[in-house]
Amino acid sequence: MARWLTDGDRAALLPGLEGVALLGPTKARERLGWTPEITVQQMCAEMVAEDLRVARRHAFLKAHGHDVPVAVEN
């Protein structure tokens, strides 16, 4: 399942994380007996849904005159 990225791919996709290895869950499953409870697609859907919820909340508060601080990840 894991696909090895070239240094160029990794730099483009994960700026600032060039030294991070991207691996599949095989080692965790083999060594620790770990299995994922949800799929990657489900995890992404949950993350997007949460981001949209927060964005809607911020838009609502801003539309009603509130100053809303927005967290920015570096």
Handedness of CA 45, 47, 50, 51 (dihedral sign): negative
Q: Is the per-residue pLDDT at 5 higher than 60?
A: no
pLDDT for 1 equals 45
pLDDT for 74 equals 54
First to last CA, the chain: 28
Q: Which residue has the tokens 């994960």?
A: 14
Q: What is the rounded CA–CA span in Å between residue 44 and residue 21?
A: 20
What digits encode the pLDDT tens for the residues 7-57?
A: 556 556 666 666 666 667 888 888 889 898 999 899 999 999 999 999 999
Chain mean position to CA 28: 19
Per domain, the residue ranges of the chain are 1-35, 37-74
Q: What is the rounded CA–CA span in Å between residue 64 and residue 47?
A: 26
